[in-house]
Structure 1
């Protein structure tokens, strides 16, 4: 029996949901088995799991593996440039002394007595564009230097560094994990930066408090690290200025955040919504619906499709009353028109599946904008985009004297479009990379050849991260093809109650990510896999809150349960001079505090600041 025959037999014996969950279990077993048992590279494990799940999922046999490559390319196209540029920025900041300047600035601000805050703040800022292990390598010598001055609090210093570096590494793009999670859940990267940083801050404070507690309960001496002498500190006059040092970190954050703010303001206009007077001829508008609905035959026409879209599953009284209002005889008074407009905006314009196909709508040619939006995956369509698609669809069906054309390009929208160009993450990181490279060349007096060599070294390390994240994206896409998200949703009592849905799915994301982290050790793999499993649930109408909170919950879960299978565990232990038992008592418990605090903060913000 071939693998394909085995899949067909499984599908015939199981329900759709059971078979989807079987695909999930087989995919997870493939990832964990290859990483834990075979010790395979995460890229090979994830791409193999993607192909296994794709083979099990429905679809033409000739597309089973080619669609994996397509999904891989889609993810790489979305995050590859950003990850590569972040690697260049990190390398150049380290080699030029810019990272060292940032740390010394924090130390000068907070002073020696508050040096743990300075070390935590340095890690917090530097881990945004720089990978955690690099940040820890950079800052540990400073922590050791502080101990030589004070002769106390060594464990507090190294745990403070770990606190700042670990929390932004898992919650704030453009580090790979949160970047891919934001991409897979269709979360604006600027919003992910803002909310991730807001949630990371109280978690970092809790981590610093916990570090102080562990330092009092388990004071440890600073031990020598091998036979190598401690590195000499670079003189201040050999370091770049503070503003030049901070520019590669702050510039992309400012540009991306500005784009998010202006786009949010433009979206708040809801320019595509139907307003009073937009339906200029109610009789003609309703007459088309009434005639189509009364037409004989079972075929679907425009009016029947509109009314069936409004009615939904037929169990909502408000929807039924709206359908009856549109189909009743006689003219509508002003009050009835306002009720009908509100209902059309709510039940028709916000429906992401309203057009029946991307090109034509029951005989009416759609505009290019509506066609483009209709081809967009439902999970990636925002409410504002759904309104625009459906308003364009209505305007394609009706003449201008029935439904007035709307004005999409308002002043705020034009400003948002300009900011979208400069606030694109790829462009923002490119500018930051240029600044970081220029700083390195000037500060270390490098030739163009030497600068090229430094950049190539950073790109080689970033290339592996791109491969892993793209493979994880392909794995997540195949889980979506296998309808895993729908099966998970059907397993849990996620009904119309927005509060219960919100809490259940956020808890689910946190829990799945934590289990995956404990099992295979990589926070990035845990985040990518979890977001792929839950991508189909990442809609405000399902969550009851913005999907950014699901993204942060997944990132928080990826901090839980770091032990001997996590490279971060060994980096912390070996670079700090701690034994395995001491690392379990300090590092592992610290990440438990960081992850739990982040998740609880995300739950509170989702409840009181849902952003929907």
Structure 2
């Protein structure tokens, strides 16, 4: 096994960072080579790349391939149910006429003169639970029907459909790409929906303006598509009501977003932070820290660990001030106690590695909550969870006569706990799937056997998406094992306190995703690979903003550079009746506008509203 700190390659020595970059390049070459040259399925390419990177990374030889399977299962467990249910919802909405009802409602609101807005709005909404290609198949006949009626604006109609569908496909869960990115970067699904939609809307408006411009520059005619006649429109009385049609889309958005809002409100209480009066006896609180720090030898004890955690990796005046206050002889005055309390909240309680995954913490038995939280991956731990973990750890060390027990389940937290159950993405989409299936059964008068057959077809199509996304998650996890994120962090001035340096990670996510999209064509593969590479950097402390902006930057980059290797390119060209050159001039440039605009909006929001 090759040592990871320094690796011998031929006659040259590679540092740890250089070897990590080598692992990344080999992994990317494996993915791109298998997809582009061998024409292998994306699932096989990603799994093969994950195994190659795992083989190169450090670790026991017997775990090289088993950890790939574990990471695959972890990703599938996180997003598999949601993707499967979204596939069921999409097919049931199409077959029942619910999707058609949504489109006609938009048309009646905006009218024929603003039909491009109606088409864009319809695809914007429908592409949240329905895959882009399905939405485009659904709406293109309507665009063609409008052209036969108006004899103008055909290119505007099809580009408007592409605008709404493409932007939510890459920014708003539960579409697989943004769903996996949110899962890998530990971004709350509800927040990803809210911020993704907020960024997608101005980008969609810009895309609609660009579509109108292209329609004036090159007013293309509508061409026949093969020998098949245009499908007949379904009568209005055969369609479900608007509210029933919208319910499968709106219900999960409402439930998940409500949970996000209430959980955020509960988090702002910072219930685990140390409050004035919580430390009843400062001398007794400092005593084990002083005794441990003064103990002879190099062994780790509670006092040495606390001081080392406070001081961190570098010299900081405020950290040193706290260490001095905890170690100094004599009692602290009121001013010193206030400073020490604030510094403990600032430097000790937010440390995500404090208990170090131990059931017994340096001689003290940790509570079950502290143990559970300490085993959570650092990248997936929020600041509030770190505060709770460390407060529970300190309470395990000190008795209540020294450190007051905190109350975590406040009234706001109890309400948030209820919405966490109801707003769980798996449960919310299950309810939506039930409504969509019931609507299909009623509208088409399906028997239970016919309904089961329709659901089975949708699950088969969703199964392939689950395999690809889980394989991408495994590939990203192996890149993390190979310390690719740390290597990238060392290559760029990300550790600087300057906000411009921290925002460099957003540019990095956007650029990596765009390069991957151009190289292999799949937005989903580009998103999950880029997020896997940058997962170790996805913390508010490193970014200077919430990781949701890194997630949306990666999604924006995955729109850039769509050409002949992208299935979306061919769907747009063939279903619209455009030539390859016309598709390059329209579809490719449209996605460039959408990707650039959404990234600039994400960048602006990260500066103005960092959400840290």
State the TM-score, normalized to the length of structure 1.
0.98
Query: 1:92, 1:312 → 2: CA distance?
Result: 55
Pair 1:4–1:237, CA change in 2 (3 A): farther
Question: Secondary structure, in 3 states, of the residue corresponding to 1:14?
Answer: strand
Could you list the structure 1 runs, at least 4 aligned residues long, displaced by more than 6 angstroms after superposition.
2-5
Q: Which residue of 2 aligns with 1:138?
A: 138
Asked if 1:38 corresponds to 2:38, the answer is yes
Q: Indicate conservation of the 8 Å contact 1:46/1:472, yes or no.
A: yes
1:236 aligns with 2:246: no
Distance in 2, Cα, partners of 1:130 & 1:3: 46
d(CA) in 1 for partners of 2:220, 2:126: 26
1:113 matched residue in structure 2 = 113
Rounded Cα–Cα distance in structure 1 between residues aligned with 2:107 and 2:141: 14
Following the alignment from structure 1 to structure 2, what is the Cα–Cα distance between the partners of residues 3 and 436? 54
- The match for 2:535 is 535
Is the contact between residue 71 and residue 477 of structure 2 (CA under 8 Å) also seen in structure 1?
yes
Once residues 389 and 210 of structure 1 are traced to their aligned partners in structure 2, the CA distance between those partners, rounded to angstroms, is 50
558-567 or 498-507, which moves further after superposition?
A: 498-507
Instruction: Tell me, in whole angstroms, the C-alpha distance in 2 between the residues paired with 1:498 and 1:240.
Output: 55
Corresponding residue for 1:406? 406
Distance 1:290 1:610 in 2: 39
Any idea what SS the aligned residue of 1:13 has? Answer: strand
Shift of 1:106: 0.2
What's the offset of the Cα at 1:289? 1.4
Q: Counterparts of 1:304 and 1:356 in 2: how far apart (Å)?
A: 14
Checking the alignment, whether the CA contact within 8 Å between 2:7 and 2:15 is kept in structure 1 is no
Match of 2:66 in 1: 66
Structure-2 residue corresponding to 1:455: 455
Change (3 A) 1:3 1:299: closer
Task: Output the CA distance in 1 between the equivalents of 2:47 and 2:290.
Answer: 53
The answer to whether the Cα contact below 8 Å between 1:140 and 1:576 also exists between their aligned partners in 2 is yes
Residues 123-157 of structure 1 deviation map (CA, whole Å, 9 limit, x = unaligned): 00000000000000000000001101110000000
Equivalence map 1:454-473=2 (5 Å): 454-473=454-473
Say whether the 8 Å CA contact 2:489–2:495 is kept in structure 1. Answer: no
Q: How does 1:21-170 map to 2 (within 5 A)?
A: 21-170=21-170
Mapped contact 2:3–2:58 kept (Cα < 8 A) = no
Q: Counterpart of 1:362? A: 362
- Cα separation, 1, equivalents of 2:410 and 2:579: 62
Give the corresponding residue for 1:571.
Answer: 571
SS at structure 1 position matched to 2:216: helix
**Cα shift at 1:314:** 3.9
Q: CA deviation at 1:223?
A: 0.4
Q: Which residue of 2 is the match for residue 187 of structure 1?
A: 187
How far apart are the structure 2 equivalents of 1:177 and 1:56?
Answer: 27
**Structure 2 counterpart of 1:177:** 177
> What SS does the corresponding residue of 2:503 show, helix, strand or coil?
helix
**SS of aligned partner of 1:152:** coil
1:267-346 aligned within 5 A: 267-346=267-346
Question: What residue ranges of structure 1 are gaps of 5+ in the alignment?
Answer: none
Contact persistence 2:7–2:16 (CA under 8 A):
no
Q: Following the alignment from structure 1 to structure 2, what is the Cα–Cα distance between the partners of residues 337 and 496? A: 31
- Whole-Å separation in 1 of the counterparts to 2:222 and 2:532: 42
- String of CA shifts for 1:53-99, please: whole Å, max 9, x gaps: 00000011111001000000000000000000000000000000000
The 3 A distance-change label for structure 1 pair 166 and 267 is same
Matches within 5 A, 1:386-465: 386-465=386-465
Tell me the distance in 1 between the aligned counterparts of 2:250 and 2:209: 27
- Paired with 2:14 and 2:254, the residues of 1 have a C-alpha distance of 51
Residues 346-376 of structure 1: per-residue CA shift (max 9 Å, x gap)? 1000000111332111100100000001101
Given that 1:494 and 1:500 are in contact with CA atoms closer than 8 Å, whether structure 2 keeps it comes out as no
After TM superposition, give the deviation of residue 4 of structure 1 in Å: 11
After superposition, give the CA deviation of every residue in 1:137-187 in whole Å (9 maximum; x if it has no partner): 000000001101110000000000000000000000000000000000000
Unaligned regions of 5+ residues in structure 2, if any?
Answer: none
CA apart distance, 1:301: 1.0
Give the SS at the match of 1:265.
helix
CA shift at 1:41, angstroms? 0.2
Provide the rounded CA distance (Å) in 2 between the counterparts of 1:96 and 1:563: 34
Cα deviation for residue 501 of structure 1 reads: 3.5
The alpha carbon displacement at 1:498 in A equals 4.6
The 1:310–1:202 alpha-carbon spacing in structure 2 relative to 1, beyond 3 Å, is: same
Partners of 1:481 and 1:395 in 2: how far apart?
33
